[in-house]
Structure 1
Amino acid sequence: MEKLHRRDFLAQLSLATVAVSVPKHAFSFHSKADAFVEVETTYGRIKGMQNEGVNLFKGIPYGGRISGDRRFRRPAPLEPWTGVRDALQFGAPAIQPPRRNEPAPSEDCLFLNVWTPANDNKKRPVMFYSHGGGFVGGSGAAGGQDGSNLARNFDVVVVETNHRLGLLGFLYLDELGGADYAGSGNMGMLDIAAGLKWVYDNIAQFGGDPNNVMIWGESGGGAKTSCLYAMPEAAPYFNKASIESGPGVRMTTKEIAAETTAMLLKELNIAPKDWRKLLDIPAADLLAMQAKLPFVPPFIEKNKNLGMMRRNYGGFGPVVDGVVLPHHPFDPTAPAISRNKPLLVGWNEDEYAFFAWERKDTEFAKLDFDSLSKKLEPQYGEDTAKIVDTYRKANPDATAPQIFMAISSITMMGLGSVDIAEKKVKQGGAPVYLYNFGYKSEKKIPGTDYPMGTPHAMDISFKFNNEIPPRDGSAPKESFFGGNRPERFTASRHFAELWTTFARTGKPAAKDVPKWPAYNLKTRPTMRIDTTCEVIDDRFSHELAVWRAVGKL
């Protein structure tokens, strides 16, 4: 097994989340309709379906053509239609490998889906979700994130978009293409902002409140949410946010993005002055080329070695271009543009278990404390002994594999989450709430006796309230990650209720859950979400202290 360093984990995250975004229980885009529902939008009338008390509208176009001469540019204007357009099947996802139970990917992919309890002009909170999959995969119809149960059980409206990804969404051409290609390095983010504007203009017809919109997302969707939180173009259209296991503190700089563009042109044997030849290359060929280049993780480490950053992070993701994304989302400070917008941020306790599963890493489960230090030394060098010693003292009963899991998980998603929370507090504006998701799955990582615990991406089905007994009274099926224990239904209810209450009021709360205090720099309260939830003050204090001491936080 090759040694897995933090940057290796993160570089794989974009692909890894794609792998889990279509598990066996993914819902089909051929849903059974109890009845049909028609509604007027700003572009024309559409027909959706009613199913078990939820109205679902699939594949609604929110932008025009982005292929041909519109590649790497703002979409063509969306043409209104006459008559009634069917919104009964999910729209094509962005160009990527084919996705199970979904339409074939397409370059023209600007579609969104809406789940609502009723089209009755009631002003419900709107939960606008950005899917995971890093910046290269996923869709608004991915398994586990069906919005039906949130809409039905918590009286909210759920919206999910497809948007440009990878090379087609984030190729930086500003310096080559001129005014027509301004913002090219952030087209995928501008698509999402356009989806938010569509919500503002139309969601009242779907029973939602355009002035009470929460943006949220997991993994790559958390990084996208971090960017939206700092984007002037998105700012008028949302009121609060949640960043889940994807703390986008920093994004790609213009300099690195320009080098990636130069690398691509060189690989394609295209001179910079002839860059327009990119417009004629089939999208499938660009996808194949994209796979040969590095991937951008959901967040980029603070690293003064620019050369190393170029080697590690020269891929396709949002670009700090000074205009669309004026600065890094949370570096050096929380974005002033969202100062008064409440924020949730946090991570899963056993994030690395997902990557062990995805990478078939069984070796970590065999570690003893001697081999643990040897495994960590290439990444942490002379600080390894200090880090391991701190973790052993803070967790005296932990085994070497458990210490490795704890270190790997907090460095992947925890340190950035804490960084965001601290910077939001220092801003002195709206509150920020820090969480850890901790429900433990009993399922084993294949090839080991090590339990999955709370791996990366397991939160998706829990927070969407999709860990729930079947409505027809049949026996529950095993959850893809969450296992078989019925306690998971309670944890899912807590998670979903906390998030929907936050969407409604700006303060997370739920029945049978302690009051969740806003984060502060004195007591540092963290909500641990589980079958029984608890507020823990100054959690991981010793561990975070050592990460500060070695310059990782």
Structure 2
Amino acid sequence: MNGFAEARVKVKQGWLQGYTAGRVKIFKGIPYAAPPVGERRFRKPQDPGRWRGVRRAVEYSAAAIQQVMENPEDVSNVHGVPQMLAPSQYEEDCLYLNVWTPANTAQDKLPVFIWVHGGGLVAGSGVECVCDGEGLAGRKDMVVVTINYRLGFFGFFAHPDLTEEGDGTSGNYAFYDIRKACLWVKENIEAFGGDPERITVAGQSGGAVAVGVLHASPLMKGIIQRVSIESGPIFWGFMKPSSRQEMEEKGKRFLEAIRCDSIEELRKRDAWELFDAYQEICRDPMYFTYCVDGQFLPDKYEKILESGRFNDFDVMIGSCAQEILPGGEEGIPVELYEKKIAELFPDAVERMKIWYPAASAWEARKQWSTIASDLMLMGSVRLAELCHQYGRKAYVWLMNKENETEMGHRTGSPHCAEMPYVFGRVDKGERNPFLDYRWVKQDYDFMELIQNYWYHFSECGNPHSQGAPEWRAYERNFDVCILGNDPHMLSQKEQEKYAYYYGRLRSGEVFPAKEMMRKGLDCGGVERGKA
């Protein structure tokens, strides 16, 4: 049986039948691990089962358990997905992936791009419309893969008894899921016309945090070649790992709260009843989160990076120019804006006013967002600096492309802004990647620019290509590529403010953007960036 042209392929587990859309062959709902249910709950993922005959791979499989609202008009998670409108249901049995391939034959050996969705490690999925791979695979010769992985409680629960049965570790199951997906891709992607020696793993926001952990983990050595970290640097970032001991203590308290006597009993309880109890008792979707578990993440992230113990992957990392929007629609009073600048940056008040001028409430709102986002960029700069120090390649970007509307220019380039362009989601991206926005020429031009960069990075580890605007590898201070309508490397003049921030952060000061998000402003607070 052979029929690559008809979207029929054979993987290690058996035959798959996908479907075609234009030049792209699409395969959905492929199991990359055994269902993590029953005795496999709170364990590392195990191999998927085999099947005989031809498995239909034409519909998405379930996404991971997470908060699902009854009202389809409600935005139900930190990623902004109206989940009742998602093209799949939500179940504990969720370890599936999807493949889009433009290959003409199984021997094409195209570069592979694996997408790790965002959502703060508590929400989202690889079946969301925003990461549909057809718009990328259909325009560039690369195989696109999206994955689901365990989230929140089921992805990060830890307990001393689990640590005992797990050879000294528990928690971080989500990261083991992602690793398992990467192993499946490495073993099977040739059947789809992909190259197992040119695998890039990319993630945005919470997914970027996960990809940052992959970059640091010794368990990823030899599996992939490159990582793309989008709006989620761990260095001086917003999502830092806890200790395993802290997660274990939380696990003990949770079992006491639900009157559960053992892990064995916990594995027998209904998944959704457990999740509902978790939400009611803990009241924080990130109560269980990732930790320094001693194995997947063997040490504090910063120590691994600063000692050069990270993987020899090519790195592309960056964020958007206005990640976090403060206040309400009315903006921020200029007087309050200037007061906050004086409080947070007392040694640079006049310079801050020059770097971030604001004459109106709307301008103050945008500039406050820009300050926090520029601080976020410093985590990317620090990672790139360490890559260069230890002889590895890194490329840093800052996206300032705005929607070509009055509202777009008022609000700037927000969290997730690159996603519609990377995935070729034409006419999407009004303040978040899900909403409609009528593209104009600048948007089509920017899609071509950014897809070329992402493709060439996946293809050879260098986003730059002949005829494209220059994007240098990070070698000198603040070698950052500005991605927008005028792409360019950061000028000396533009670098001045970053040198100021970098000096403060390197001296050990508390990350000011954290304070901006946690304390907020008197005019209604600063939104936490959706992770």
Same fold per TM (> 0.5)?
Answer: yes
For structure 2, the residue ranges without an aligned partner over 5 or more in a row are 69-82, 512-531
Greater CA deviation, 209-218 or 283-292? 283-292
TM-score (normalizing by structure 1): 0.79
2:402 counterpart of 1:430? no
Q: In the alignment, what sits opposite 2:422? A: 463
2:332 counterpart of 1:366? yes
In the alignment, the residues of structure 2 paired with residue 251 and residue 325 of structure 1 have an alpha-carbon distance, to the nearest angstrom, of 9
Offset at 1:337? 5.1
Q: In the alignment, what sits opposite 2:269? A: 281
Query: Letter of the aligned partner of 1:440 in structure 2?
Result: E
Q: In the alignment, what sits opposite 1:259? A: 249
Offset at 1:254? 1.7
In the alignment, the residues of structure 2 paired with residue 256 and residue 167 of structure 1 have an alpha-carbon distance, to the nearest angstrom, of 14
Give the superposed CA RMSD.
2.8
> Which string of whole-angstrom CA distances, capped at 9 and with x for unpartnered residues, describes residues 507-529 of structure 1?
1124653221111244x221111
Q: In the alignment, what sits opposite 1:493? A: 448
1:373/1:468 CA distance change after superposition, 3 Å? closer
Q: In the alignment, what sits opposite 1:46? A: 16
2:397 counterpart of 1:407? no
In the alignment, the residues of structure 1 paired with residue 283 and residue 340 of structure 2 have an alpha-carbon distance, to the nearest angstrom, of 24
1:439/1:131 CA distance change after superposition, 3 Å? same
2:311 counterpart of 1:346? no
Offset at 1:192? 0.7
Residue from 90, 94, 97 that aligns with 1:105: 90
> Which string of whole-angstrom CA distances, capped at 9 and with x for unpartnered residues, describes residues 428-474 of structure 1?
222111101111114566xxx972321001111111232379xxxxx
Q: Give the fraction of aligned pairs with identical amino acids, expressed as a percent.
A: 28
Count of residue pairs brought into register by the alignment: 476
Offset at 1:113? 0.4
In the alignment, the residues of structure 1 paired with residue 217 and residue 170 of structure 2 have an alpha-carbon distance, to the nearest angstrom, of 15
For structure 1, the residue ranges without an aligned partner over 5 or more in a row are 1-34, 297-313, 470-477
SS of the residue corresponding to residue 212 of structure 1 reads strand
In the alignment, the residues of structure 1 paired with residue 405 and residue 412 of structure 2 have an alpha-carbon distance, to the nearest angstrom, of 8
2:500 counterpart of 1:541? no
Residue from 376, 382, 400 that aligns with 1:419: 382
Asked if the contact 1:373–1:385 (Cα under 8 Å) also holds between the matched residues in 2, the reply is no
2:482 counterpart of 1:515? no
Q: In the alignment, what sits opposite 2:80? A: none
2:196 counterpart of 1:196? no
SS of the residue corresponding to residue 199 of structure 2 reads strand
Q: In the alignment, what sits opposite 2:412? A: 453
Asked if the contact 2:221–2:311 (Cα under 8 Å) also holds between the matched residues in 1, the reply is no
Offset at 1:285? 2.5
Asked if the contact 2:313–2:392 (Cα under 8 Å) also holds between the matched residues in 1, the reply is yes
Q: In the alignment, what sits opposite 1:70? A: 40
Offset at 1:260? 2.6
Asked if the contact 1:218–1:245 (Cα under 8 Å) also holds between the matched residues in 2, the reply is yes
TM-score (normalizing by structure 2): 0.82
Asked if the contact 1:214–1:503 (Cα under 8 Å) also holds between the matched residues in 2, the reply is yes
Asked if the contact 2:341–2:352 (Cα under 8 Å) also holds between the matched residues in 1, the reply is no
2:166 counterpart of 1:205? no
SS of the residue corresponding to residue 233 of structure 1 reads helix
Offset at 1:277? 3.3
SS of the residue corresponding to residue 367 of structure 2 reads helix
1:133/1:318 CA distance change after superposition, 3 Å? same
Residue from 31, 50, 55 that aligns with 2:25: 55
Query: Letter of the aligned partner of 2:354 in structure 1?
Result: K
1:85/1:241 CA distance change after superposition, 3 Å? same
Task: Map 1:236-255 to 2 at 5 A.
Answer: 236-249=222-235, 250-255=240-245
Greater CA deviation, 116-125 or 332-341? 332-341
Q: In the alignment, what sits opposite 2:102? A: 117
1:171/1:335 CA distance change after superposition, 3 Å? farther
Q: In the alignment, what sits opposite 1:506? A: 461
1:263/1:88 CA distance change after superposition, 3 Å? same
Task: Map 1:145-160 to 2 at 5 A.
Answer: 145-160=131-146
